[in-house]
Structure 1
Amino acid sequence: MEEYNSGDEQVVFNADEVNISVKECIEGVIGGTDYNQNKVNQWTASIVEHSLTHLVKQGRPFKYIVNCAIMQKSGAGLHTANSCYWDTTTDGSCTVRWENRNMYCVVSVFAVAL
Structure 2
Amino acid sequence: MDIPAAGLDKADIETTVREAVGSTLGKSTFIHNKVDGWIAKVMETCLKRLAQSAKQYKYVVSCQIMQNAGAGSCVTSTYSWDPRTDDCITVDWQNDHILCIVSVYWLAV
**TM-score interval, smaller chain:** over 0.9
Which aligned pairs between 1:1-114 and structure 2 lie closer than 5 A?
7=2, 10=4, 12-114=7-109
Higher RCO (C-alpha under 8 Å, 6+ residues apart): 2
Q: Which runs of 5+ in 1 are unaligned?
A: 1-5
Q: Which runs of 5+ in 2 are unaligned?
A: none
Match of 1:48, SS state, is helix
Asked whether the 8 Å contact 2:88–2:104 carries over to 1, the reply is: yes
Please state which structure has a larger fraction of its residues in strand.
1
Superposed displacement of residue 59, structure 1: 2.8
- The amino acid across from 2:84 in the alignment is T
Number of residue pairs the alignment of both structures matches = 108
Superposed displacement of residue 75, structure 1: 2.2
The Cα RMSD (Å) is 1.4
Asked whether the 8 Å contact 2:43–2:63 carries over to 1, the reply is: yes
Asked whether the 8 Å contact 2:68–2:94 carries over to 1, the reply is: no
Q: TM-score, normalised by structure 2?
A: 0.92
